[in-house]
Structure 1
Amino acid sequence: MARYVGHTSTKGIKMRASVYLDIAERTFGPRGSLALLRWALAIVFLWFGAMKFTSYEAHGNAPLIDHSPVVSWLNVVFGVQGASDVIGVIELSTAVMLILGALNAAASALGAVMSSATFIITLSFFLTTPRVAEPTAGGFPAISAPIGQSLLKDLVLLAASVNLLLASIRRLHPCDIL
C-alpha cells in the first residue's frame, strides 16, 4: 500500500512530495540481506561458470549464443567449446569479484556490474532466441519450459545484482577506486 508523506508551507500545512511503498516483509538488517544476495550470486556464478567447461553446457548454450547479436561472435571466433570456456572464465571472475566484495566495496561494485551485465545479456535472449514462446499455448506471453522458463529466472538474478550494485556504490569511497 502506498503511503504519502510530505511537507509544504501552504497555510501552515507541511507536505513533502516524496512517495514510498510499504512492504510486508521485514529484514534482519540491510547488511544481512545483502550478504545473502552476495553469497547466492557467488554460488550461482561458481556453479554456472564451472559448468561452462563441460561439453554438455557448451552445446546446450550454443543455440542461445548463435542467435544473440551481442555474443554470437564468440562461437565464430572461439568455436562452441571455446566460447563456452570464455564465458566460464568471465563467470568465475564474476564470482571472485563478488566474494572479494565482501571485504572491498570496489570489488563488490565491479562484481555486481559484471553480474548485472550477464543477466541483461541473457534476458536479451528472450528477444533473439527461437522457441522462447510456446506456440501450443498461444505464443507469447506463454513461455516454453526448456528455454523461456530457464531465462526468466535471470530477471530475479538481475534484480539481486542491481540491488547489490546500488548498495556497493553507496559504500564506495572515492579512494577505493584508486
Structure 2
Amino acid sequence: MTNRYPVPSDAAAIAALRWSLVIIFFFFGIAKFATYEAEGVAKIASQYPLFAWMYPIWGAQGASNVIGTIELSTGAALAIGAWSARVSLLGGLMGMCTFLITLSFLLGAPLWEPGYGAPFIGGIAQFLLKDAGLLAGCFAIAVTSARKAGFARD
C-alpha cells in the first residue's frame, strides 16, 4: 500500500526539536541576567546543595549569571550542532544535565500547594515538570547526534 500522505523525515523532526530547544535555551538563558529572574531562581537554587555555594560568593545575580551563561552555551552548542554532530552531541548532553538537575529540585520542592491536594500540583511543580519533556528532547538530540558522529549505532 502506498503512503497517501507525505510524512516529514526523521531529520526534519530532529531539526524542529533542535531549533525549539535553541529558542528555549536562548530565552531562558537571557532571562537569567534580569533581576526578576535571578531573584526567582535564588528562591529554589540557593537552597539546593549543587548551587548553594555560589550565592555567598557571587550573590543572587552573579549565580544567576553563571546559570544563564551555561544555558546560553547549551543553546549555542545545539545551534552549531545543526552542522556538527559532535557539537550537537555536546549540546544534547549539556541540555540533559540541565534538565536532570532541575528535575532533581522536585525531590525537595513542595509539589502540592496548600488547599489544592493531590493530584493538583502547585506552581513550582508545574514549572519543573515541563523539564521532563525538555529532557526527552535533549536525549533525542544526543542519541541522534551520537549515531551521526559514529559513537553509537542502531
| Normalised TM-score (structure 2) | 0.89
In the alignment, the residues of structure 1 paired with residue 126 and residue 139 of structure 2 have an alpha-carbon distance, to the nearest angstrom, of: 21
Q: Bigger relative contact order, structure 1 or 2, given CA contacts below 8 A and separation 6+?
A: 2
User: Which residue of the partner structure matches residue 139 of structure 2?
Assistant: 162
Structure with the bigger percentage of strand: 1
Contact kept? 1:27, 1:33, Cα under 8 Å? no
For the residues of structure 1 that align with 2:13 and 2:54, how far apart are their CA atoms?
Answer: 36
User: Who is 1:66 aligned against?
Assistant: 46
Name the CA distance, whole Å, in 1 between partners of 2:139 and 2:97.
10
Aligned residue for 1:32? 12
Quote the offset at 1:63 in angstroms: 1.2
Per-residue CA deviations over 1:6-61 (Å, capped at 9, x if unaligned) read xxxxxxxxxxxxxxxxxxxx951110000011000000000010010000000011
Q: Decide which of 103, 109, 112 is 1:133's aligned counterpart.
A: 112
Q: CA RMSD in A?
A: 1.6
Q: Which has the higher helix share?
A: 2
In structure 1, distance between residues paired with 2:41 and 2:125: 13
Report the Cα distance in structure 2 between the residues aligned to 1:33 and 1:42, rounded to whole angstroms.
Answer: 14
Which SS does the other structure have where 1:39 is aligned? helix
Q: How many Å separate the matches in 1 of 2:7 and 2:64?
A: 38
Rg larger for: 1
Could you report, residue by residue, the CA deviation over 1:63-90 in whole angstroms, capped at 9, with x for unpaired residues?
A: 1102222222222322100000000110
Q: TM-score, normalised by structure 1?
A: 0.77
Residues 124-168 of structure 1, C-alpha deviations (whole Å, 9 max, x = no match): 111123x332232225x4320x21101111011001010111101
Aligned pairs for 1:1-178 (under 5 A) are 27-129=7-109, 131-139=110-118, 141-144=119-122, 146-173=123-150
Distance in structure 1 (CA, Å) of the matches to 2:16 and 2:36 = 30
Ranges in structure 1 where 5+ consecutive residues have no aligned partner: 1-25
